[in-house]
Amino acid sequence: MKQIEGSRAIAETVALCRPEVICAYPITPQTHIVEALSEIVKAGELDPCAFINVESEFTALSVAIGASAAGSRAYTATASQGLLYMTEALYNAAGLGLPIVMTLGTRAIGAPINIWNDHSDAMALRDAGWIQLFAESNQEAADLHVMAFRLAEELSVPVMVCVDGFILTHAFEPVDIPTQADVDGFLPPFEPREVLNPAEPITIGALVGPEAFTEVKGLAHQKMLRAIERIPALASEFAARFGRTSGGLVRSYRTFDADTVVVALGSVSGTIQEVVDAMRDKGQAVGSLSVGTFRPFPFAAVRQALMHAVRVVVVEKNVAVGMGGVLASDVREALGAEAPLVHTVVAGLGGRAITTTSLRRALEQAHAGTLELLHFLDLDRPVVERATAKEMCR
């Protein structure tokens, strides 16, 4: 255990995974991760490995695509606007089945420009064909990268490890950085299924027309679903080797006999658990569910965890403007026709603190039946009302 910044813990763990090509373009709050990696590579501690400073995120992922197709273990990291700037390449990497691993230091998306944490970036690219894992803590953020490379290479699917910007990336916590021997034992060397090789030339990235495009996409979906089986198995194997629990599909906290269950992604789960404990102390039957694997969405695991709930409150750090909450929508889909009441609580946008007091108030309202179906936590209503009134006068 050492007291270490989240970004440093991630960088050191990524280095233990022996990536061969690392490429990155700086963006807050991802910078500390790639700075640390550039130092590790430059010092020769990770040989052989190329660290490539590129001129954009689109290039960062494109370099990773080339490196991966040529048989290298490739890694990059980004956030927010950077992820959106990569969009075209994200779909391409997934479509080509390249097992690239990327850290996403989750951050809001402008306008208005905002460098602080929420999940708008991860949500925007949730359907790009990447597995998306969310870390609750810095320990899990580090550990997920070891699992991510293994999972990506087993399935030939790229994996995005989503780590809350600033809240985790810049926080100092005790983290147990695994040993090289343990990581090597868990993560075998990368053996690409198909590789650019002059001795056995293949064509990668051919044009596919209507006669086969549906099959290609159908197979991609099927392959993605295999992660639903592999993730719990890998988490168990990880626990056996490293002696701690990290990763997995979902994690329930005091949900047994809970009539109200709070669902969330990422680091806010810790805050939610505090609220759950406080309310349990008052005899209220509350529990929480942390969704660790967001893509592929673990429908069955979510359904099972929420089976006995009377109401579900999804706390999410994004708003799909004109729709509501993305995670809540997926949770409703998981619950099907006999769904309990599912509330969406939009919270923590653009880095606004999610306090136990505000969360608890929302849960009390849910219990009393007074919580809106779509609720913006701590919304400054007078400001919104004034602006709305002005707009109406135009």
**Contacts for 332-335: CB closer than 8 Å, 24+ residues apart:** 333/297, 333/299, 334/297, 334/299, 334/300, 334/302, 334/303, 334/306, 335/302, 335/303, 335/306
For residues 26 and 232, which CB has a smaller minimum distance to another protein in the complex? 26
Quote the least distance from Cβ 240 to another protein, whole Å: 32
> In the complex with another protein, which residue's Cβ is closer, 74 or 235?
74
Cβ atoms of residues 286 and 276 within 8 Å = yes
Nearer to another protein, 207 or 368 (CB): 207
Q: How far is the CB of 365 from another protein (least distance, A)?
A: 48
Residues in the chain, overall count:
394
Q: Scanning the structure block, which residue is given the tokens 């658990």?
A: 273
Minimum CB separation of residue 85 from another protein in Å reads 11
Distance of CA 186 to the CA centre of its chain: 21
Q: How far is the CB of 204 from another protein (least distance, A)?
A: 5
Let me know the angle formed at the C-alpha of 339 by 334 and 340, rounded to the nearest 5 degrees: 125
**Residue whose CB is less far from another protein, 4 or 22:** 22
> Whose Cβ is closer to another protein: residue 44's or residue 198's?
198
Query: Do 130 and 101 contact (CB within 8 A), yes or no?
Result: no
Instruction: Quote the least distance from Cβ 210 to another protein, whole Å.
Output: 11
DSSP code per residue over 132-188? EEE-SSHHHHHHHHHHHHHHHHHHT--EEEEEETTTTTT-EEEE-PPPHHHHHHHSP
Place of tokens 């406080």: 278
Nearer to another protein, 66 or 350 (CB): 66
The CA angle 272-239-273, to the nearest 5 degrees, is 10
Q: Where do contacts with another protein occur on this chain (CB under 8 A)?
A: 20-21, 23, 48-50, 52-56, 58-59, 62-72, 74, 88-89, 92, 96, 196-198, 200-209, 212
Q: What are phi and psi of 177, to 5 degrees?
A: -80, 125
- Closer CB to another protein, residue 23 or residue 313? 23
- Cβ atoms of residues 186 and 237 within 8 Å: yes
**Smallest separation, CB 52 to another protein (Å):** 6
Q: How far is the CB of 306 from another protein (least distance, A)?
A: 40
